[in-house]
Structure 1
Amino acid sequence: MDTVPSPVGALTYRDATAADADALVALIESAYRGESSRTGWTTEADLLEGQRIDREGVLAVVEAPRSRLLAVERDGGLIACCQLENRGHAAYFGMFAVAPGAQGGGLGRRIIAEAERRARADWAVGEMHMTVIAQREDLIAWYERRGYRRTGKRFPFPYGDERFGIPQRDDLEFELLVKPLA
């Protein structure tokens, strides 16, 4: 567990455990789905209904080899999380969620910088990869301001698998974003 000073209270970073699964599901759901997500800017509520993640999905990340789910706390409360997975030459960044009421103040920027630092330090990878719903232009623009670039590589959305939500349009797909970590 690492504590990093922050202008709005110290942030504590730690690897999530199975005991955190329910709280992580609630955090991720609040950031992306339903009415609570609309208080932040990362909502996908207009694109997808239903769940974003379930307990089994969180546990799969927590328990996978070469993977970690970073839990971020402030004043003892879970405020954000992100997935890091070692894929050899690159790390994969995903399942990034910041509590809706804490969005817009630079917290996400600090967390992604810490995730990149850990990927370099712990795994000596040269790149960070992520996939983002291609229709999320505002979110992609935010990642581009953090140094990520669009690759043009697209992947189909898993239509018909409600574990990932219920699409509200028929053109959803993911795009691979990449950032060198030199």
Structure 2
Amino acid sequence: MFNLPCVILCGGKSSRMGEDKALLPFSTFKTLTEYQYKKLKPHFKEVYLSSKTEKFNFKNKLILDKEKEYSPIVALKSIFEFFKDENKLFIITVDTPLVEISTIEKLINESKDYDITLAKTSSREHNLCGVFSTKAIIEVEKMLEKDIHKVGYLLKKMDTTFIEFQNEDEFLNLNNKEEYYKAKSIIS
């Protein structure tokens, strides 16, 4: 078991999907969120959901993001405030359900010397799949004062490292129906 909390980000607009992807059925579960939660829960001391609303039909621990604006940086601020007594936490998006536990373990094991440790593949960096130091709240607050909402900006301001992984499908991000159906076929 990993000795840090995990937060699943599930408060996005899902505009490209056309409906709330966090609530889409996945595998044998009623929702993608429940799938991610049940998959990760045995491996972390606690698993939390970050969302704008309480929209889930299963028992969970919720971090509500009360800001009107939809932005991962706004969500990170709420998360870091919630975990002010923790040193680090693992953050993953609800729409990356194929990330393996062994990948998460590698990210955690490689994170001790960095503020932020993230996954990357040959095609891209996965800015919301990795270990974050809660001290990043200082930069997040400065960013929000300047109305900066790009995660990449935060990564440049912090001591960030990327761990490369070979399997692109593992990081398939379910932004549209085609990607959703591809992930469902991979998992079945």
TM-score (norm 1): 0.35
Q: Which of the two has greater strand per residue?
A: 1
TM-score (norm 2): 0.34
